[in-house]
Amino acid sequence: PRRLDGKGFLSTAEILKSGQVVRVLVSTNTTIGVVATNALLNKTQATKVAQMAHDGLARVIRPVHTMFDGDVIFVLSVGKENRKPADVTTVGTVAAEVIAQAVIRGITQTEGLQGIPAAKEVIGDILRMSN
């Protein structure tokens, strides 16, 4: 959430730790992702890859998976049945890395909206102030 003075942002984790759940936290903070792979995965394996892919969210969003969130990652396998079965641990590990990269890319490539600055605008301000 933004600071009341409009200069920067509050730490969601710090607000939660203080015990003062601010009304602004009780809003929609949903992150949705899709992992599509040509690895041959059955339903159980795809579920495990989705679970592992959530690690990517945890690497770059803090806090994640709170009671205010609706975070979800879907996994689809388009692998042909005649393919050799994939190593689920490898696919899940790569999925977590790619999800983390996608979130960072989304943050750094977006534009501000309705007076709320984008990360690149805030970072740009910080870099200009340090020179």
**What's the CATH number where 62 sits?**
3.30.2330.10
Residue 51 placed within a domain: yes
> What pLDDT sits at residue 69?
79
Number of independent structural domains in the chain: 1
Residue 17 placed within a domain: no
| Residues contacting residue 6 through CB under 8 Å, at least 6 positions apart | none
| Residues contacting residue 131 through CB under 8 Å, at least 6 positions apart | none
Please name every residue paired with 107 in a beta bridge, in sequence order, or none if there are none.
none
Rounded CA separation 99/74 (Å): 11
Residue 52 placed within a domain: yes
Contact 83, 92 (CB under 8 A): no
| Domain that residue 41 falls in | 28-110
Q: What is the pLDDT of residues 53-98, one digit of tens each?
A: 999 999 999 888 887 778 999 999 998 887 888 899 999 999 999 9
pTM as predicted: 0.77
* pLDDT at 21 > cutoff 90: no
